Amino acid sequence: MTEKAEPAQRPAPSWLDEVPVRPFVERDFETRFALQPGDRALAEVGATVTTGEALLERLRERRVSEVVVPAPADGVTADRVTADRVTAGERWAPASPAGRRRPDREVEGELLAPLPGGKDKWRVVTGEQRDIVPSPLTGTVSAVLPGAEVRVRAAGLALTGSLAAGSASYGRLELATDPFGELRPGGIDVGRAGSILVVGARIDAEALTRARAMGVRGIVVASLPGKELRDFQASERRQRAALQPPPPFGVLVLLGATRRRIPTPVTALLERLAGTEVSLLVDPPALVFAATEADLPDIPRDWVHVRSGPAAGAEGRVIGVVGLRRFASNVWLEAAHVAIDGEPPVDLPLGDLERLD
């Protein structure tokens, strides 16, 4: 009995290469956590961190003091200080004489800069209250720059977005609406606590505030208008100024400020991830998840998403590239013939289109 031969896969037309391509997901994604003067990384370069593990220590109510920091003697090396010099960004703690208790007002800090004209005198950033920031993802610490940043390379795949606000977080992914929908404040209750919600096309600042108050850890939305973003950022600043720091809460915007639906391939991926633990990152904006290539949805090679122009947000299939065509304001652009939602094909500028690969 002879085996039935598998049909050869038809190669993609060469003209599809003319349509701009964007990666569907990113591998070896690297995220950044900002360090302000006085903050301290709790993991070293090359260390593996897991979700919820202490990543860094943030200093609240910073103050700048002047201290005397004598350079180490030759041949003696102190922690993070070389034998011949003291450098900015090093950790500092006052010496405690034998048998005497260190004064409470003298706390450890970070060396900021030497005082001009003063021998061994430095400005140091100190403070009493410190907050521990847990890692929102599993990965490997790739860089630690005191006073600048900590970089972590994610262990999973990343779905990147257009912008993000708030702080990085992690939680269980839940689909709250369909790709065209909008989540109202009344649809959020304490049953959503600890989750990251996919809320469809848009969301307003009132719903974001209620979601944070109900214990939601994050929001994934297709678009967020500028006014709603500013209102949310103002609310975040007020929360950060409170005596008790709030739990992490972030917003990931997939497409931008104009209302659009979530693209079909992205919706298919989010549906597969529903109920699993994901990480919402803000710098750069992305949703990180543990999955393999086999878990990703198949995307037809001729599928396109209209990312700008009058038809922004629509989806279709490319029939062919047609060369120069005249558009509004008598502008001539390279165009493609695209069939959108089963309608007769129309000509759209190549710059308005994107394929996912």
The answer to whether 200 and 180 have CB atoms below 8 angstroms apart is yes
The answer to whether 124 and 63 have CB atoms below 8 angstroms apart is no
Within its chain, how far is the Cα of 177 from the centroid? 22
pTM, rounded to two decimals? 0.84
Please give the structure tokens belonging to residue 99: 């048998």
Q: Are strands 303-306 and 315-327 parallel, antiparallel or unpaired?
A: antiparallel
Within its chain, how far is the Cα of 30 from the centroid? 9
Query: What confidence score (pLDDT) does residue 84 get?
Result: 46
Residue with tokens 């390379």: 153
Query: What confidence score (pLDDT) does residue 79 get?
Result: 42
Q: Please, what is the Cα angle at 296 between 290 and 299, to 5 degrees?
A: 155
Query: What confidence score (pLDDT) does residue 23 get?
Result: 92
Query: What confidence score (pLDDT) does residue 237 get?
Result: 85
Query: What confidence score (pLDDT) does residue 223 get?
Result: 92
The answer to whether 217 and 188 have CB atoms below 8 angstroms apart is no
Query: What confidence score (pLDDT) does residue 276 get?
Result: 94
**334: Cβ–Cβ under 8 A, 6 or more apart, which residues?**
18, 321, 323, 324, 325, 349, 350, 351
Within its chain, how far is the Cα of 158 from the centroid? 9
Q: Are strands 331-340 and 346-349 parallel, antiparallel or unpaired?
A: antiparallel
Mean pLDDT by 10 residues, the chain (357 residues): 46 77 93 90 93 90 81 47 62 64 61 79 84 93 91 95 94 88 82 92 90 93 92 86 80 91 93 94 95 86 90 90 90 92 88 91
Domains of the chain in sequence order:
29-54+132-154 (no CATH), 61-128 (no CATH), 156-295 (3.50.30.10), 299-356 (2.30.30.30)
- Minimal CA–CA distance to 203: which of 139, 252, 134, 263? 252
Within its chain, how far is the Cα of 101 from the centroid? 44
- Minimal CA–CA distance to 111: which of 86, 145, 88, 79? 88
> For residue 153, what are the CA distances in angstroms to 90, 132, 170?
24, 20, 16
Beta-strand runs (E) in 118-228: 121-126, 130-134, 139-145, 149-154, 157-160, 163-166, 169-175, 195-198, 218-223
Q: Please, what is the Cα angle at 353 between 347 and 356, to 5 degrees?
A: 135
Query: What confidence score (pLDDT) does residue 170 get?
Result: 95
